[in-house]
Protein backbone atom coordinates (compact mmCIF):
# COMPACT_ATOMS: atom_id res chain seq x y z
CA UNK A 1 0.00 0.00 0.00
CA UNK A 2 1.35 3.35 -1.03
CA UNK A 3 -0.38 6.64 -0.14
CA UNK A 4 0.50 9.98 -1.72
CA UNK A 5 -0.72 13.52 -0.99
CA UNK A 6 -0.81 15.61 -4.16
CA UNK A 7 -1.74 19.25 -4.72
CA UNK A 8 -1.75 21.94 -7.41
CA UNK A 9 1.27 24.19 -7.60
CA UNK A 10 1.30 27.83 -6.47
CA UNK A 11 3.06 30.14 -8.87
CA UNK A 12 4.77 33.33 -7.72
CA UNK A 13 6.63 35.00 -10.59
CA UNK A 14 10.36 35.06 -10.01
CA UNK A 15 10.18 33.18 -6.70
CA UNK A 16 10.98 29.61 -5.69
CA UNK A 17 7.91 28.28 -3.91
CA UNK A 18 8.46 25.64 -1.22
CA UNK A 19 5.79 23.44 0.34
CA UNK A 20 5.44 21.84 3.80
CA UNK A 21 3.11 19.02 4.76
CA UNK A 22 1.68 18.04 8.17
CA UNK A 23 -0.60 15.20 9.24
CA UNK A 24 -3.01 14.56 12.12
CA UNK A 25 -4.41 11.17 13.04
CA UNK A 26 -7.57 10.54 14.99
CA UNK A 27 -5.38 10.11 18.09
CA UNK A 28 -4.02 13.63 17.73
CA UNK A 29 -7.57 15.00 17.40
CA UNK A 30 -9.08 13.03 20.27
CA UNK A 31 -6.22 12.83 22.79
CA UNK A 32 -3.49 15.34 21.86
CA UNK A 33 -5.24 18.71 21.63
CA UNK A 34 -5.76 18.61 17.86
CA UNK A 35 -2.00 18.73 17.33
CA UNK A 36 -0.39 18.45 13.89
CA UNK A 37 2.85 16.66 13.10
CA UNK A 38 5.20 17.82 10.34
CA UNK A 39 6.48 15.24 7.84
CA UNK A 40 10.21 15.84 7.83
CA UNK A 41 10.78 14.61 4.29
CA UNK A 42 8.06 16.94 2.97
CA UNK A 43 9.14 20.13 4.72
CA UNK A 44 10.44 22.84 2.38
CA UNK A 45 10.04 20.77 -0.79
CA UNK A 46 9.46 22.11 -4.28
CA UNK A 47 7.56 19.15 -5.76
CA UNK A 48 3.78 19.02 -5.36
CA UNK A 49 3.58 15.48 -4.03
CA UNK A 50 4.45 13.78 -0.71
CA UNK A 51 4.71 10.05 0.12
CA UNK A 52 2.71 9.77 3.35
CA UNK A 53 2.71 5.95 3.53
CA UNK A 54 5.03 5.75 6.56
CA UNK A 55 2.78 8.08 8.58
CA UNK A 56 -0.62 6.80 7.50
CA UNK A 57 0.07 3.56 9.33
CA UNK A 58 -3.18 2.87 11.19
CA UNK A 59 -6.72 2.22 10.00
CA UNK A 60 -8.14 5.47 11.39
CA UNK A 61 -9.19 8.72 9.65
CA UNK A 62 -6.31 11.13 9.04
CA UNK A 63 -6.31 14.80 8.14
CA UNK A 64 -3.52 16.33 6.08
CA UNK A 65 -2.55 19.87 5.26
CA UNK A 66 -0.01 21.66 3.04
CA UNK A 67 1.09 25.25 2.75
CA UNK A 68 3.30 27.18 0.36
CA UNK A 69 6.19 29.38 1.39
CA UNK A 70 8.44 31.93 -0.28
CA UNK A 71 11.27 33.05 1.96
CA UNK A 72 9.73 33.92 5.32
CA UNK A 73 6.24 34.31 3.90
CA UNK A 74 3.83 31.43 4.18
CA UNK A 75 0.33 30.82 2.85
CA UNK A 76 -2.61 29.61 4.87
CA UNK A 77 -2.85 25.87 5.30
CA UNK A 78 -4.85 23.97 2.72
CA UNK A 79 -6.44 20.86 4.25
CA UNK A 80 -8.27 17.84 2.81
CA UNK A 81 -11.93 18.30 2.07
CA UNK A 82 -12.59 15.07 4.01
CA UNK A 83 -10.52 12.77 6.18
CA UNK A 84 -8.46 10.04 4.54
CA UNK A 85 -8.68 6.46 5.81
CA UNK A 86 -6.44 3.83 4.26
CA UNK A 87 -9.36 1.40 4.04
CA UNK A 88 -10.38 3.38 0.97
CA UNK A 89 -7.10 2.46 -0.77
CA UNK A 90 -7.66 0.74 -4.09
CA UNK A 91 -5.82 -2.56 -4.48
CA UNK A 92 -4.87 -3.43 -8.05
CA UNK A 93 -4.55 -7.08 -9.18
CA UNK A 94 -0.98 -8.40 -8.72
CA UNK A 95 1.40 -8.88 -11.65
CA UNK A 96 1.82 -12.64 -12.04
CA UNK A 97 4.12 -14.83 -14.17
CA UNK A 98 3.21 -18.52 -14.37
CA UNK A 99 5.70 -21.06 -15.77
CA UNK A 100 6.01 -24.82 -16.03
CA UNK A 101 9.48 -26.14 -15.23
CA UNK A 102 9.21 -29.76 -16.22
CA UNK A 103 6.54 -31.13 -13.87
CA UNK A 104 6.68 -28.11 -11.56
CA UNK A 105 4.07 -25.34 -11.54
CA UNK A 106 5.86 -22.11 -10.65
CA UNK A 107 4.60 -18.59 -9.99
CA UNK A 108 6.53 -15.34 -9.85
CA UNK A 109 5.02 -12.34 -8.08
CA UNK A 110 6.01 -8.71 -7.68
CA UNK A 111 7.25 -7.64 -4.28
CA UNK A 112 4.75 -5.32 -2.53
CA UNK A 113 6.05 -5.19 1.05
CA UNK A 114 5.14 -6.78 4.39
CA UNK A 115 1.54 -5.46 4.50
CA UNK A 116 0.56 -7.75 1.58
CA UNK A 117 -0.50 -11.37 1.23
CA UNK A 118 -1.06 -13.11 -2.12
CA UNK A 119 -3.93 -15.52 -2.53
CA UNK A 120 -3.04 -17.83 -5.44
CA UNK A 121 -5.63 -20.17 -6.96
CA UNK A 122 -4.76 -23.00 -9.38
CA UNK A 123 -6.64 -25.84 -10.99
CA UNK A 124 -6.39 -28.38 -13.80
CA UNK A 125 -7.82 -26.89 -16.96
CA UNK A 126 -11.36 -28.12 -17.40
CA UNK A 127 -11.71 -28.99 -13.71
CA UNK A 128 -12.68 -25.53 -12.45
CA UNK A 129 -14.75 -27.14 -9.71
CA UNK A 130 -11.59 -28.32 -7.93
CA UNK A 131 -9.51 -25.22 -7.17
CA UNK A 132 -6.52 -25.18 -4.84
CA UNK A 133 -5.53 -22.07 -2.93
CA UNK A 134 -2.14 -21.06 -1.49
CA UNK A 135 -1.62 -18.02 0.76
CA UNK A 136 1.80 -16.49 0.36
CA UNK A 137 3.25 -13.76 2.52
CA UNK A 138 5.82 -11.30 1.23
CA UNK A 139 7.37 -13.14 -1.70
CA UNK A 140 10.71 -12.43 -3.28
CA UNK A 141 11.41 -15.24 -5.72
CA UNK A 142 9.71 -17.92 -7.77
CA UNK A 143 7.23 -19.91 -5.74
CA UNK A 144 6.70 -23.63 -6.13
CA UNK A 145 2.93 -24.20 -6.33
CA UNK A 146 2.71 -27.92 -7.01
CA UNK A 147 4.02 -30.91 -8.87
CA UNK A 148 1.88 -31.37 -12.03
CA UNK A 149 0.66 -34.52 -13.73
CA UNK A 150 2.51 -35.27 -16.96
CA UNK A 151 1.16 -33.44 -20.02
CA UNK A 152 -1.66 -31.78 -18.08
CA UNK A 153 -2.55 -28.09 -18.40
CA UNK A 154 -2.91 -26.05 -15.23
CA UNK A 155 -4.41 -22.56 -14.83
CA UNK A 156 -3.55 -19.94 -12.21
CA UNK A 157 -4.97 -16.62 -11.00
CA UNK A 158 -4.12 -14.48 -7.97
CA UNK A 159 -5.30 -11.55 -5.87
CA UNK A 160 -3.64 -9.44 -3.18
CA UNK A 161 -5.00 -9.22 0.37
CA UNK A 162 -4.09 -6.62 3.03
CA UNK A 163 -4.91 -7.89 6.53
CA UNK A 164 -4.56 -4.46 8.15
CA UNK A 165 -7.55 -3.12 6.22
CA UNK A 166 -9.19 -6.51 5.49
CA UNK A 167 -9.45 -5.74 1.76
CA UNK A 168 -8.45 -7.71 -1.34
CA UNK A 169 -7.87 -6.79 -4.99
CA UNK A 170 -9.64 -8.14 -8.05
CA UNK A 171 -8.17 -11.28 -9.63
CA UNK A 172 -5.29 -11.15 -12.05
CA UNK A 173 -5.67 -12.51 -15.58
CA UNK A 174 -5.85 -16.33 -15.69
CA UNK A 175 -2.66 -17.91 -17.06
CA UNK A 176 -2.37 -21.59 -18.10
CA UNK A 177 0.74 -23.74 -18.67
CA UNK A 178 1.28 -27.43 -19.56
CA UNK A 179 3.49 -29.95 -17.74
CA UNK A 180 6.05 -31.85 -19.82
CA UNK A 181 5.45 -35.44 -20.88
CA UNK A 182 2.39 -37.21 -22.23
CA UNK A 183 -0.95 -37.01 -20.47
CA UNK A 184 -2.20 -40.37 -19.13
CA UNK A 185 -5.75 -40.67 -20.54
Our CB check for another protein shows the closer of 17 and 115 to be 115
Residue 80 is a binding residue for another protein (CB under 8 A): no
Alpha helix positions (H), the chain = 26-31
Strand, helix or coil for residue 171: coil
Candidate segments 2-10, 88-96, 124-132, 138-146, binder of another protein by CB under 8 A: 138-146
By CB under 8 A, residue 27 contacts another protein: yes
Total residue length of the chain? 185
Asked whether the beta carbons of 125 and 114 are under 8 A apart, the reply is no
Mapping DSSP to helix (H, G, I), strand (E, B) and coil, where does residue 53 land? coil
Per CB under 8 A, the list member of 63, 112, 139, 159 interacting with another protein is 139
Considering the rule CB under 8 A, would residue 78 count as an interface residue with another protein? no
In whole angstroms, what is the distance from residue 50 CA to residue 43 CA?
10
Least distance between another protein and beta carbon 46 (Å) = 20
Residue 55 as a binder of another protein (CB under 8 A): the answer is yes
Q: In 3D, which of 130, 87, 86, 132 has the Cα closest to residue 107?
A: 132
Q: Per rule CB under 8 A, is residue 143 in the interface with another protein?
A: yes
- Which residue intervals of 8-135 are DSSP H helices? 26-31
Q: Which residues bind another protein (CB under 8 A)?
A: 23, 25-28, 30-33, 35, 37-40, 54-55, 57-60, 62, 101-104, 106, 114-115, 137, 139-144, 147, 163-164, 166
Amino acid sequence: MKHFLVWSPVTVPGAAVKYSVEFQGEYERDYANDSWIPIGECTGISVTQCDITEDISATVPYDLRVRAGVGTQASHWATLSSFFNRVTTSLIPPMLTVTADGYHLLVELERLGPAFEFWIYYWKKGQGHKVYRKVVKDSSTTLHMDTMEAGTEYCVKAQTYVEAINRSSNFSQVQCVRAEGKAIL
